[in-house]
Amino acid sequence: MHNEKKLDFASEIRKALHKALKSDPRLVLMGLGVNDPKGVFGTTIDLAKEFGSIRVLETPTSENAVTGIGVGLAVTGHPAVMVHQRLDFFLLAMDQLVNSAAKWHYMYGGQSSVPITIRLITGRGWGQGPTHSQNLHSWFTHIPGLKVVMPAFANEARALLAASIADPNPVIFLEDRWCHVQQVDAASLDDSKVIELGKASVEVEGNDVTVVAAGFSAVESLRAINYLQKYGINAELINLRTLKPLDAETIYKSVVKTGKLLVVDSGPKISSFASEIISLVSTNRFTSLRAAPVAITAPDVPEPTSHGVTGDFKFGADTVARSLVEIVGSDNSSIDFSQLRNTPHDVPNSTFTGPF
Amino acid sequence: MTANRESLFSLFKLAMRIRLVEEQIAAEYPKGEMRCPVHLSIGQEIVSAAVGLNQLSTDTAVSSHRAHAHYLAKGGDLYRMIAEILGKVTGCCKGRGGSMHLIDLQCGFLGSSAIVGNSIPVGVGSAFSHKLNQTDDLSFVFFGDGATEEGSFYESVNFAAVNKLPVVFVCENNLYSVYTDLAARQPEHRPIFEMVKAMGVNSLHIDSFDPINCFEVITRAISDARSSRTPLFLEIPTYRWLEHCGPFDDDALNYRPAGELATFKAQDPVAKLQSKLMDTFGVSQVEIDTALARIKEEIIGAFAAAKNDPFPTLDESMADTYA
């Protein structure tokens, strides 16, 4: 059950939705589960009580039509936020996303825009398996007209969702299920903070190597980078926040300083977002690079379910740390990478007890 | 709107305006200046005209690839449609959409889509807005029999039913999805409107080959939907005279049974309406000719103006990906 005192990424998402519904009486929030007892992992809990079950609408299990209905609402003056408890379910809605939402403003001569935000939750661990854990953020960046936002930390979740809802374009807002349970200290939150879409954040400054990541990959990269500092390795972490439009300048600036690049991407390797970052840096800052760029990605294999193998299948903070040590050419004999492994490997922290 | 001399003459003029526009497009098309697919509505005009006369300017509408008639009947700007088909920057989509993507927000025509079934949920979303806004407006969703085979159709009808949305689904059943007839696509003895009725939506089957009755039934049904604020489904059998896509007759392909096209042409609801106007309502040949001459003049003017307009520049076509 949702606890008002507990502050985490999920409660920050709820805070953004609450504020948006309150400040814009035209806004509609809809999806399967928005008004159920669990409220989409606590992110929508009790919102229908305050704003009514028309504006906070339970929907049929009709991902494609609901997306189109959101487009219809949006083009007639009612911005919409939609949510899917797994990104994988939303694959049924590609026609409305790609043929309607993404192209609408362009295709109809710039007369009518589609202010919708589509929250997609990516499953991870606990046997989510081949069709509940797909990281397809790279797909969405390939479609002209979409914006793609991928928050990592609890203290940016509210502001990034608020900016997405305020944006006049269709925004894909990707939430890793493991980000949801990341706790946050109330003192580190600023409810008036504004974050612009299309701007990356330099989370840690360092001179040895540039690490580019988004979503939960940025959370794991941060753990690895913090851990390696005591071994004298100083990596710079760029948390992308928005994949599209991409803040390439912040990446370039860092690579010019460090000369080395590691991209950490939860998606499968082929045509990954890591490939795009490496392509951009190689093309535009070739002479700044002092070593070949490195990508850590998921393998080009559907994800297995068994927790007997997922520990080795998924990369984690230890994988990132090993890669960083190799890139900077340090001696790794004294480094205990096992400290960076989650135990057990298939939960984000002790608050997560399944089932999804 | 009751069926009287005035309303039926308006119905005739609107149907003929659509037909004459489509005929002009068909006549011009072989010149190669309209370089995009066109799906013409010749033979099907009465449906759009009968619905169109019952639409308020604040009602909204969406349509599919065969959208010219719905756009014109809703009040869409003719010149901007012709310019769009010609690919001119003055077109309703600045030349980005072509014949299959029409929009005129002045009259509430929200858009038409080249993907079968794609605009149906968008129309339902617009109906949701009407409900939230607590107006008397309706959202009209035009599509063909083929779209009732798409998942988006069932999802949208169900959503409209469960949420009691003010939407009018208009299904023009012209028997063919491109060249494939209904018998190959849907089971016998299961009419589309009966299926939709079973989904919990008030559904009617309306014979468009009896134009006056068609107009009267549509008028009553839309008026009832406007007051009940609940979804309405209209299955209206009709018939396409030309090829699925393009300006020509395609009877030689033989996908239609021999004689079927001729039989339906002999049942032309617009010709029947003209006879009825002249025989029963005292409309003279001179009145008919004067009305048609005025429409033709408008069409010639729209084509002439649109042809004179510039194409978009590449810079203009690179704008507007984002709002």
The residue in chain B having the minimum alpha-carbon distance to the alpha carbon of residue A55 is: B132
Q: Do B125 and A59 touch (CB under 8 A)?
A: no
d(CA A322, CA A327): 9
The confidence score (pLDDT) of residue A204 equals: 98
**What are the residues whose beta carbons fall under 8 Å from the beta carbon of B76, sequence distance 6 or more?**
B92, B102, B104, B107, B109
Helix or strand or coil: residue A84?
A: strand
Q: Do B110 and A76 touch (CB under 8 A)?
A: yes
Collect all residues of chain B within an 8 Å Cβ-Cβ radius of residue A107: 93, 96-97, 101
Collect all residues of chain A within an 8 Å Cβ-Cβ radius of residue B122: 68-69, 71-72, 75, 100
**Cα separations (Å) of A39 from A51, A131, A293, A348?**
14, 22, 42, 20
- Unique residue bearing structure tokens 């009877």: B251
H-type alpha helices, A170-241: 177-180, 216-229
The confidence score (pLDDT) of residue B61 equals: 98
Nearest CB to A107 within list B96, B132, B162: B96
Q: Do B118 and A69 touch (CB under 8 A)?
A: no
Helix or strand or coil: residue A171?
A: strand
Indicate the burial class of A105 (C-beta count within 10 angstroms; 0-12, 13-18, 19 or more): buried
Q: Do A75 and B152 touch (CB under 8 A)?
A: no
The confidence score (pLDDT) of residue B261 equals: 97
The confidence score (pLDDT) of residue A1 equals: 43
Q: Do B323 and A105 touch (CB under 8 A)?
A: yes
**What are the residues whose beta carbons fall under 8 Å from the beta carbon of A114, sequence distance 6 or more?**
A71, A74, A75, A100, A101, A104, A105, A168, A169, A170, B323
Nearest CB to B321 within list A55, A99, A145: A145
Asked if B126 and B60 count as a contact pair (C-beta separation under 8 A), the reply is yes
Q: Do B105 and A111 touch (CB under 8 A)?
A: yes
Collect all residues of chain A within an 8 Å Cβ-Cβ radius of residue B121: 64-69, 71-72, 96
The pair of structure tokens assigned to B113 is 């889509």
Q: Which residues of chain A fall short of a pLDDT of 70?
A: 1-5
Q: Do B121 and A67 touch (CB under 8 A)?
A: yes
Strands A201-204 and A294-298, bridge-based pairing = unpaired
Whether B202 and chain A come into contact, CB under 8 Å, resolves to no
The pair of structure tokens assigned to B322 is 């984002």
**Average pLDDT in the B254-283 region?**
97
The pair of structure tokens assigned to B30 is 């072989």
- Quickly name the fold that domain A201-340 has: Rossmann fold (3.40.50)
Q: Half-sphere exposure of A165 toward its Cβ, with a 13 Å CA cutoff?
A: 30
A132 noted as active-site residue: yes
- Unique residue bearing structure tokens 């009602």: B59
Torsion of Cα atoms, A192 then A196 then A197 then A200, to 10°: -110
Nearest CB to A78 within list B91, B113, B132: B132
A12 noted as active-site residue: no
d(CA B55, CA B141): 12
Residue B1, pLDDT > 50, answer yes
Asked if B61 and B37 count as a contact pair (C-beta separation under 8 A), the reply is no
- The most distant pair of C-alpha atoms in chain B lies apart, rounded to whole Å, by 57
Closest CA relative to residue A29, chosen from A3, A9, A49? A49
Residue A5 CA, chain-centre distance (Å), reads 24
The pair of structure tokens assigned to B134 is 């607590």
Q: Do B129 and A73 touch (CB under 8 A)?
A: yes
H-type alpha helices, A195-272: 216-229, 248-258
Collect all residues of chain B within an 8 Å Cβ-Cβ radius of residue A104: 111
Span B68-92, pLDDT tens digits: 999 999 999 999 999 999 999 999 9
Domain residues of chain A, as ranges? 9-188, 201-340
Nearest CB to B156 within list A65, A107, A168: A65
Domain A9-188: CATH class, spelled out: alpha beta
Collect all residues of chain A within an 8 Å Cβ-Cβ radius of residue B105: 111-112
Collect all residues of chain B within an 8 Å Cβ-Cβ radius of residue A143: none
- Unique residue bearing structure tokens 């071994």: A231
The residue in chain B having the minimum alpha-carbon distance to the alpha carbon of residue A63 is: B155
| C-alpha distance from B185 to closest chain A C-alpha (Å) | 22
The C-alpha angle A89, A94, A96, rounded to 5 degrees, equals: 115
| C-alpha distance from B171 to closest chain A C-alpha (Å) | 18
The confidence score (pLDDT) of residue A5 equals: 59
d(CA B209, CA B215): 11
The confidence score (pLDDT) of residue A235 equals: 98
The confidence score (pLDDT) of residue A351 equals: 86
SS (H, E, C) chain B: CCCCHHHHHHHHHHHHHHHHHHHHHHHHHHHCCCCCCCCCCCCCHHHHHHHHCCCCCCCEEEECCCCHHHHHHHCCCHHHHHHHHCCCCCCCCCCCCHHHCCCEHHHCEEEECCCCCCHHHHHHHHHHHHHHHCCCCCEEEEEEHHHHHCHHHHHHHHHHHHCCCCEEEEEEECCEECCEEHHHHCCCCCCHHHHHHHCCCEEEECCCCCHHHHHHHHHHHHHHHHHHCCCEEEEEECCCCCCCCCCCCCHHHCCCCCCHHHHHHHCCHHHHHHHHHHHCCCCCHHHHHHHHHHHHHHHHHHHHHHHHCCCCCHHHHCCCCCC
Whether B128 and chain A come into contact, CB under 8 Å, resolves to yes
Span B211-221, pLDDT tens digits: 999 999 999 99
Sign of CA dihedral B287, B289, B290, B291: positive
The confidence score (pLDDT) of residue B2 equals: 85
The confidence score (pLDDT) of residue B119 equals: 98
Q: Do B118 and A168 touch (CB under 8 A)?
A: no
Collect all residues of chain B within an 8 Å Cβ-Cβ radius of residue A147: 322
Instruction: List the beta bridge partners of residue B85.
Output: none
DSSP line for A292-350: --EEEEE-SSPPP--TTTHHHHS--HHHHHHHHHHHHT---TT--GGGGS-SSTTSSST
Interface mutation target, options B120, B128, B311, chain A, most CBs of A under 10 Å: B128
d(CA A196, CA B42): 51
Asked if A276 and A138 count as a contact pair (C-beta separation under 8 A), the reply is yes
How many C-beta atoms surround the C-beta of residue B227 within 10 A? 9
Asked if A150 and A242 count as a contact pair (C-beta separation under 8 A), the reply is yes
CATH classification code of B5-28+38-74+116-283: 3.40.50.970
Residue from A84, A105, A132, A137 carrying the catalytic annotation = A132
